[in-house]
Amino acid sequence: MMRFMLLFSRQGRLRLQKWFTAISEREKKKIIREMTTMVLARPPRTCNFLRWKDLKIVYKRYASLYFCLGVEDEENELLALEIIHRYVELLDKYFGNVCELDIIFNFEKAYFILDEFLMGGEIQETSKQIVNRAIESSDMLQEPAPL
Amino acid sequence: MSPSVPLQEMIRAIRSARTQCEERGVIQRECAAIRAQFRNTDNEGRSHNLAKLLYVHMLGYPAHFGQMECVRMIASPRYSDKRVGYLGAMMLLDEKQDASLLITNSIKNDLSHSNQYVQSLALCTLACMGSAEMCRDLAPEIDRLLRSSNSYIKKKVTAHPSVLIVVSSVLTCVLHGAVVLITQLCERSPETLERFRKTVPDLVQIMKGLVISGYSPDHDVAGVSDPFLQVRILRLLRILGRHNEAASDAMNDLLAQVATNTDSTKTVGNAVLYETVLTVLDIKSESGLRVLAVNILGRFLLNNDRNIRYIAMTSLQKIVVTDHIAVQRHRGTIVDCLKDQDASVKRRALELSLALVSASNIRSTMKELLIFLSSCPPELRAHAASGIFNAAERYAPSQRWHIDTILHVLTTAGADVRDETVPNLIQLITNTSELHCYTVHKLYRALLTDISQQPLVQVACWCIGEYGDLLLKGECQETEAVQVTEDDVLDALEIVLQSHMSTPTTRGFALTATMKLSTRIIDNVDRIRSVVSIYGSCIDVELQQRAVEYNALFKKYDHMRAAVLERMPVIQKNSVGQTNGEVGEETVKESQAAKVAQKEMALPPLLPHQVSPSDSHSAPDKLLLLHAAFESIYAPLASAPAVTVYEKNGVTLTISCEQQSDSGLTVTLTASNSSDSDISGFTLQAAVPKSVQLQMRAPSRDSLPANGAAKLTQLVILNNPNKVGLHNAR
């Protein structure tokens, strides 16, 4: 199963953090710091997998954002790359040509989409369409904001 | 109280802050406003405030004052409030916070809500930060949801980790979640594993459907239908088939089919293939299938994508021990990967190459490994060097090749080799007597080029000292002859002695080598004499001690010099074909006993003048003489038989050694008198090298009666805590 997913920019600014296990705030901050330093320090044409403590770290860079997934030892790394890609596709479908700014200004939407796709460290739904439809329906339920 | 600013405005304001200080100012103002808003209970724009707080939290600022607000939001009837409230709960609350208990009731209510999206929010939050107690409390609700007819909710529930506490049936309509669930169940309890084994045929059917089925655009990724599900099913099959013949048989065909039919041009296909390979290698599959799996890994090795090469090597590493022959077929590709640019790929290639070395491929592999050593990243150098030594030790096709290899490693990576390398190499050289000439020529040339690699310099000095005469003779069958004069050799040694790059140990080697040459050269003995006397006042105590003793050897004991500085005898190697390291050291130490015995027998004149009751010889003499005898009898020697070291004027002195511990040695000195007169005032003194500790017990008596009426024994305890190796320096 996955332990955490982090999105951060090239300057190390955190854009999204999702934790699939219960850990303390201090632990979370420590992991974020270590991940950003480790991943940002990687030279450009190296492989996307790292070993860190007892986890495998799978990361991929999309434009200015790094998607970093911490998975357990038994996970298939290539599939983890596909999971990251699927999430990016979902974001893209929702925002229409997604870019980092979309995720910054609409971070809560990014979380909602992630919660429809992954849960408890595993994939919840493998069909793109179903996830998109669920998000759209949830959005419809959203009451209009007061002026 | 500043007016509340919409979320996007705030984000823009924070981003436009040019310094950290400015940003902090903006955030503090916002937080103050948010706190004020929270106190104001009937505010309509609550969700926006909480969202702002969450953004601030993500930037790393403290946000715990929002916890109660989360609880309030979750309880609100509005969906937007609930959404942000639950998000806040997931981000700000965790098991250890007390506030999390407060939302248990809200979650309970929401799980029974009429709207499935509200239910899903509750489930998600529970999955994210629910403690075990919370899950247990809510188990009945979850159970009910599991049996509901809503597939959307069922899917969520099966993906929910807390369901492990509740579930009892297999669901077929929400496949992925069900498979995940079953996998987790089987991992945790062996009885469930047994029960689910009978589902193997069903799983096989489902997989077949996925692999052969037509194009389903929704689940399809680059031509592979629902790869996420395929991989999960394969993993479950792996767990079910492990250690079980019947289950493994049932899936053999399927695995072969997946392996051959999956398109491997894209990452997705490779992901599925990778999982298949892992499954095949883990279950009790037939050999044909295993070979197929290893071949797939071999194909991965040739792939352009670095990631795929990396995972191929990681997998090969796991099976290299069990399927050695199959992996050997891909040795060429693996050795090529040593040249890859990626450091992790290189590391894996190194370990695999070392594991694949065998007698048949040693020459070619070693060539590649030596090339790798010269260009490898520094963190891998020590590992590579020791791996090369091990491999060379086990599979060396010839002595000369072995020596060449070790010399090559010392010249390229001398600084990173282990300490035992020097004595091991010296022992190896001593044992190949036919190559002494060749070795000393090679080492001399290496010494001339570079004196910075300490292990190399030490070995070179030692060899020149031992075999200097062969060097000066000039002729050698195995390498071109070079005319070397005595001055050249002495110059080289002096450079080492004076260089600031040489460590004290190295200089010790050089000094002793210079001394040894005094018996091997003809013309320049005076030069050596002067060098030795200069170092008599050296600051380094070790060098000074040596120089003083060698001086003494020149002055008072010149007649003994030739004998003392004789060629070292061949060390008997006890066992062949063992790996370097500890075992090597043991053979060296065991053979030392034999060597000591030989040496003692060969050099009786070492201990004249020592036993004489009225003798007023000064202590230093006695010290020197026993020094030479004892200096090889330190620590881990196996018990050596009693050796007679002195026999003169009717007095016989024998030494026997017994190894007490890893670093301790007990030496028993026995003296007897076979002459006609009594000897009184008999004392023995001993000296040892600085690395060895000496403890002399009281002798049993201090006089030797005539005609062997009684023997005198004295115990000497030697302790060699640093286990200084074969110190052939002298």
- The residue assigned the tokens 């002055």 is B555
Of B26-30, B306-310, B426-430, B621-625, the one with minimum mean pLDDT is B621-625
**DSSP H stretches of helix in B242-330:** 245-261, 267-282, 287-301, 306-319, 324-328
Say if A97 is an interface residue toward chain B (CB within 8 Å): no
In this complex, the residue of B117, B218, B267 whose CB is nearest that of residue A81 is: B267
CB contact under 8 A, A78 and B270: yes
Per-residue pLDDT at A147 exceeds 70: no
Distance from CA of B147 to the nearest CA of A (A): 18
pLDDT one-digit tens code per residue, B446-473: 888 888 888 888 888 888 888 888 888 7
Matching residue, tokens 């079910």? B240
B347: left (phi > 0), else alpha (psi -120 to 50), else beta?
A: alpha
Site of tokens 């030739």: B562
- Of all residues in chain B, the percent with pLDDT exceeding 90 is 2
Look up residue A60 and give its two tokens: 């991929």
User: Would the pLDDT of A58 be above 90?
Assistant: yes
Alpha-carbon distances of A103 from A81, A92, B413, B632, B702, rounded to whole Å: 20, 10, 50, 74, 94
- Amino acid B4: pLDDT: 59
Please report, to the nearest 10 degrees, the dihedral formed by the alpha carbons of residues B106, B110, B111, B117 taken in order. Answer: -140
Q: Which of B58, B64, B179, B225 is the mutation pick for testing A, counting most A CBs within 10 A?
A: B58
Rounding to the nearest 10 degrees, give the CA dihedral for residues B414, B415, B417, B422: 60
Q: How far apart are CA B121 and CA B94, in angstroms?
A: 16
Instruction: Tell me B570's DSSP state.
Output: P
Subunit contact A16:B58, Cβ cutoff 8 A: yes
Write out chain A residues lying below 8 Å of B281, CB-based.
none
B142-194 residue pLDDT tens: 777 777 767 777 777 776 655 544 443 333 336 777 788 788 878 877 887 88
B554 touches chain A (CB under 8 A): no
Q: Is B161 on the interface with A (CB under 8 A)?
A: yes
A143 with B48: Cβ contact below 8 A: no
Does B115 lie at the interface with A, CB-CB under 8 angstroms? yes
Q: What is the distance in angstroms between the Cα of A99 and the nearest Cα belonging to chain B?
A: 16
Domain ranges of chain B: 419-565, 643-719
For residues B638-668, one letter each, b for 16 or more C-beta atoms within 10 angstroms of the residue's C-beta and e for the rest, the string is eebeebebbeeebbbbbbebebeeebbbbbe
How crowded is the C-beta side of B444, counted as CA atoms within 13 Å? Answer: 29
Q: Tell me: pLDDT of A78 over 60.
A: yes
Partner A contacted by B94 (CB < 8 A): yes
Residue B321 φ/ψ, nearest 5 degrees: -75, -45
CA-CA distances (angstroms) from residue B138 to B119, B161, B178, B197, B618? Answer: 13, 13, 20, 30, 93
Residues of B with Cβ-Cβ distance to A46 under 8 angstroms: 306, 341-344
Q: Is B215 exposed, middle or buried (0-12, 13-18, 19+ CB in 10 A)?
A: exposed
* Whole-number pLDDT of residue B661: 65
Say which residues have a Cβ less than 8 Å from residue B22's Cβ, sequence separation at least 6: none
Question: B147 CB near a chain A CB, below 8 Å?
Answer: no
Cross-sheet strand order for the sheet of A14-19? A14-19, A2-9, A65-71, A55-62, A49-52
E strands along B200-245, which residues?
Answer: 220-221, 224-225
Question: Which chain A residues have a beta carbon less than 8 Å from that of B308?
Answer: 78
Q: Answer whether A141 sits within 8 Å of B117, measured CB to CB.
A: yes
Q: Do A78 and B307 touch (CB under 8 A)?
A: yes
Which CATH superfamily groups domain B643-719?
Gamma-adaptin ear (GAE) domain (2.60.40.1230)
Write the pLDDT tens digit of every residue in B674-685: 777 777 666 777
Distance CA B462, CA B479 (A): 20
* CA dist., res. B496 & res. B503, Å (int): 10
Statement: residue B404 has pLDDT above 90: no
Q: Are B487 and B524 in contact (CB under 8 A)?
A: yes
CB contact under 8 A, A49 and B307: yes
Q: Which residue has the higher pLDDT, B347 or B663?
A: B347
Considering only residues 300 to 359 of chain B, which have any Cβ-Cβ distance to chain A shorter than 8 Å?
A: 306-311, 341-345
What's the pLDDT at B149? 67
Render pLDDT for B3-30 as a digit per residue (tens, 0 to 9): 557 788 888 888 888 898 998 998 898 8
Average pLDDT, chain A: 90
Tokens 């070292």 correspond to B568
Contact B177 A77 (CB under 8 A): no
In chain A, where does DSSP find H-type helix? 25-40, 77-95, 100-105, 107-117, 128-141
Q: Which two tokens stand for residue B137?
A: 């409390």
Say yes or no for a CB contact (<8 Å) between B231 and A76: yes
Minimal CA separation from B226 to chain A, in Å: 7
B730 DSSP 8-state letter: -
- Cα–Cα distance, B506 to B253 (Å, whole number): 66
- Which residues of chain B lie closer than 8 angstroms to A124, CB-CB? 155-156, 159, 176-177
**CB distance A94 to A135 below 8 Å:** yes
- The C-alpha atoms of residue A97 and residue A17 are separated, in whole angstroms, by 22
Distance CA B656, CA B638 (A): 11
- CB distance from A123 to chain B under 8 Å? yes
Give the gap in angstroms from C-alpha A35 to the nearest C-alpha of chain B.
15
pTM score, whole prediction: 0.69
Write out the two tokens for B706.
């005539």
Split at pLDDT 50, 70, 90, the class of B215 is: low
Q: Walk me through the domains of chain A, giving residue ranges and CATH numbers.
A: 2-142 (3.30.450.60)
Q: Which of B228, B307, B343 lies closest to A126 in CB terms?
A: B228
Query: What does the pLDDT look like over B125-147, one tens digit per residue?
Result: 887 777 777 777 777 777 777 77
Nearest residue to B565 (alpha-carbon basis) of B516, B531, B608: B516
Residue type at position B127:
A
Contacts of A93 in chain B (CB under 8 A): none
Residues of chain A found within 8 Å of residue B15, distances taken between Cβ atoms: 104
Least confident of B147-161, B226-240, B456-470, B505-519: B147-161
Extract long-range pairs of B521-530: CB within 8 Å, 24+ residues apart.
B521/B468, B521/B469, B521/B472, B521/B486, B521/B489, B522/B486, B523/B486, B524/B486, B524/B487, B524/B490, B527/B490, B528/B490, B529/B554
| Mean of all residue pLDDT scores within chain B | 77
Tell me, what's the ipTM? 0.88
Q: Tell whether the model's pLDDT for residue B726 goes beyond 80.
A: no
Contact A124 B155 (CB under 8 A): yes
CB B157 within 8 A of CB B145: yes
Which of B46, B95, B128, B278 should one mutate to test binding to chain A, selecting the residue with the greatest count of A CBs within 10 A? B128
